[in-house]
Amino acid sequence: MRSPMPRTDGTPLRVLIVEDSEDDAILLLRHIQLGGYRPEMQRVDDAAAMRRALREHDWDLIITDHNIPGFGSAEALEIARRHDADIPFILVSGSIGEEIAVDAMKSGAHDYVMKDNLTRLLPAIERELREAENRRAHQEAEATIRHMAFHDGLTGLVNRTEFERRIDAAVDSARRDGEQHALFYLDLDQFKLVNDSCGHLAGDELLRQLSRRLHAGIRESDTLARLGGDEFGVLLNNCPLERAERIARALLERIKDFRFIWRERGFGVSASIGVVRVNGDDDTNALLSLSDMACYRAKEKGRGRIHVYAQGDSELSQRRGEMQWIERLQRAMENDALELHRQP
């Protein structure tokens, strides 16, 4: 009886075969083809060639012989693990003891098959490919969850939680190393007009487009965050206050030059920005509060303005004191610490 002919229209499979015998490699290739795969194969027989093949190509599967003169399966396994521990690695040998096979599995090999029993090869390949796909899916799901925990779902920008963590780090570096950083609190002017006249879908699209425009105006080392609603935060690392003020004005110009179009209606956009220095004297909550108050002061001056907080800013210092009293009163009410006294 003739052996069945290998299929040529199957699933593509990129296979790196570590084998010194070309005949044995062809035999492995034939078994893979009979399983319905269309393998793209490269054979290597030493460490240098294996490293080069791993650098130059992506592989779905690695199959290695145990006994190659000057290059054993243990070294091949170590090279594969260092490159990518998730690539299925199957050991195929004509003579391998159980103890060696167990050691190989403990070191990271996914399975082993004897050359005189290659009927086990296809089930092993299919199982390991499924498990590799499951591992990738699990890793992608975990990465998505991590991303969602620290990024805004609408714009993809860093969210308030992650932004505050980065401000914490900036405060620490300012205290420890004397580095200068700057913090912006940016609030859109009349954003409510777009929401009320065109609906929340339009408002969401405006925020997405504006986020991309703002992000293009800062360095990769800086952070742009959405703090909520139409409010954004910017953290400029290693940036003196004078340069930060120039960057704030440049961002206002980028916003001013932007025109939002929604269903043939056009809207001009402007923003107000509060700027504070991150110098280690204040903690994250205080810095956010100061930048928020500076932004509010900029709004009071008119649309498209900035206000830079500096030591000796009597107006903001007064407001800061008022805000602190409000916080104290709120804590006192929560703790039932207020007392009523009658003055005759």
What confidence tens digit (pLDDT) does each residue in 12-21 have? 999 999 998 8
> For the segment 69-128, what is each residue's pLDDT rounded down to a tens digit?
888 888 999 999 899 888 999 988 877 666 677 777 777 788 878 887 888 888 989 999
The pLDDT assigned to 343 comes to 62
Interatomic CA distance for residues 275 and 286, integer angstroms = 13
The answer, yes or no, to whether residue 5 has pLDDT greater than 60, is no
Structure tokens at 337: 């610490």
Position 70 scores a pLDDT of 86
By the 10 Å C-beta count (0-12 exposed, 13-18 middle, 19+ buried), 310 is classed as exposed
Phi, psi of 14 (to 5 degrees): -90, 115
Q: Active-site residue numbers?
A: 230
Q: What is the pLDDT of residue 100?
A: 73
Residue of higher predicted confidence among 90 and 321? 90
What does each C-alpha distance from 157 to 40, 84, 151, 212 come to in angstroms?
A: 41, 30, 5, 9
Strand partners, 150: none
Pairing outcome for strands 270-278 and 306-308: parallel
156: left (phi over 0), alpha (psi -120 to 50) or beta: left
Q: What is the mean pLDDT of residues 180-189?
A: 96
Paired with 301 in beta bridges are none
Domains of the chain: 11-146 (3.40.50.2300), 160-323 (3.30.70.270)
- Residues 225-283 pLDDT 10s: 999 999 999 999 999 999 999 999 999 999 999 999 999 899 999 999 999 999 888 89
The residue ranges of DSSP E strands in the chain, in sequence order, are 11-18, 37-44, 61-65, 89-93, 111-114, 181-189, 223-228, 231-236, 259-262, 265-268, 270-278, 306-308
| pTM beyond 0.75 | no
pLDDT number for residue 175: 93
Mean pLDDT (the chain) is: 87
The per-residue b/e assignment along 32-53, b for 16 or more CB within 10 angstroms, e otherwise, is bbbbebebebbbbbbbeebeeb
CB 161 within 8 A of CB 168: no
- Distance in angstroms (rounded) separating the CA atoms of residues 323 and 328: 9
Mean pLDDT of 209-229: 96
Residue 317 has pLDDT above 60, yes or no: no
CA distance 73 to 120: 19
pLDDT at 19: 92
**pLDDT-above-90 percentage for the chain:** 56
